[in-house]
Amino acid sequence: MSTDHPIVTLTTDFGCRDHYVSAMKAVMLSINPGAQLVDVSHSIPAGDIMSGSWVLSNAAFLFPPGTVHLGVVDPGVGSTRKGIVAKVNDQIFVGPDNGLFSLAFAKRDVKGYYIENPDYTREHISNTFHGRDIFSPVAAYASKGIKPEQFGPQAGKLETYKLPMPIVDQQGIEGTIIHIDAYGNLITNISRSDLSGILNKPVKIFTGNTILDKVVSTFSDVPEGEPAALIGSSDMLEIAVNQGNAEELLNARKGDPVSIVYRN
Q: Rounded to whole angstroms, how far apart are CA atoms 37 and 5?
A: 10
Compute the average pLDDT of residues 27-50. Answer: 97
Q: Rounded to whole angstroms, how far apart are CA atoms 94 and 143?
A: 11
Q: How far is residue 87 from each of residues 84, 154, 190, 256, 260, measured CA to CA in Å?
A: 10, 11, 29, 34, 39
Q: pLDDT tens digits, residue range 99-132?
A: 999 999 998 999 999 999 999 999 999 999 999 9
Q: Is 158 exposed, middle or buried (0-12, 13-18, 19+ CB in 10 A)?
A: middle
The DSSP letter of residue 194 is G
5: confidence class by pLDDT, cuts 50, 70, 90: confident
Res. 61: pLDDT tops 70:
yes
Q: Rounded to whole angstroms, how far apart are CA atoms 38 and 70?
A: 10
Q: Tell me the CATH architecture of domain 167-262.
A: Beta Barrel (2.40)
Res. 65: pLDDT tops 50:
yes
Q: Rounded to whole angstroms, how far apart are CA atoms 252 and 185?
A: 10
Looking at residue 2, its pLDDT comes to 47
Give the bridge partners for 240, in sequence order: 228
Res. 176: pLDDT tops 80:
yes
Q: pLDDT tens digits, residue range 238-252?
A: 999 999 999 999 999
Q: Please, where in the chain does CATH 2.40.30.90 lie?
A: 167-262
Compute the average pLDDT of residues 48-57. Answer: 96
* Amino acid (one-letter) located at 192: R
Q: What is the pTM of this model?
A: 0.91
Q: Select from 82, 72, 55 the least CA-distant residue to 129.
A: 72
Compute the average pLDDT of residues 51-72. Answer: 97
Looking at residue 1, its pLDDT comes to 46
Q: Please, where in the chain does CATH 3.40.50.10790 lie?
A: 7-151
Q: Is 65 exposed, middle or buried (0-12, 13-18, 19+ CB in 10 A)?
A: exposed
Q: What are phi and psi of 132, to 5 degrees?
A: -80, -45
CATH number of 7-151: 3.40.50.10790
Higher pLDDT, 262 or 197: 262
Q: Give the 3-state DSSP-derived string for 138-163, with helices as H, strands as E and coil as C.
A: HHHHHHCCCCHHHHCCECCCCCCCCC
Q: pLDDT tens digits, residue range 138-170?
A: 999 999 999 999 999 999 999 998 888 999 888
Instruction: Please give the helix or strand (H or E) that residue 24 lies within, else none.
Output: helix 20-31
Q: What percent of the chain has pLDDT over 70?
A: 97
Compute the average pLDDT of residues 76-93. Answer: 96
Looking at residue 44, its pLDDT comes to 96
Please report, for the chain, how many H helices and E strands are present, in that order: 6, 15
The count of other CB atoms within 10 Å of the CB of residue 28 is 25
Q: What does 26-68 look like in DSSP terms, one character per residue?
A: HHHHHH-TT-EEEEEES-SPTT-HHHHHHHHHHHHTTSPTT-E
Average pLDDT score, the chain: 94
Q: Select from 103, 101, 106 the least CA-distant residue to 86.
A: 101
Compute the average pLDDT of residues 48-60. Answer: 96
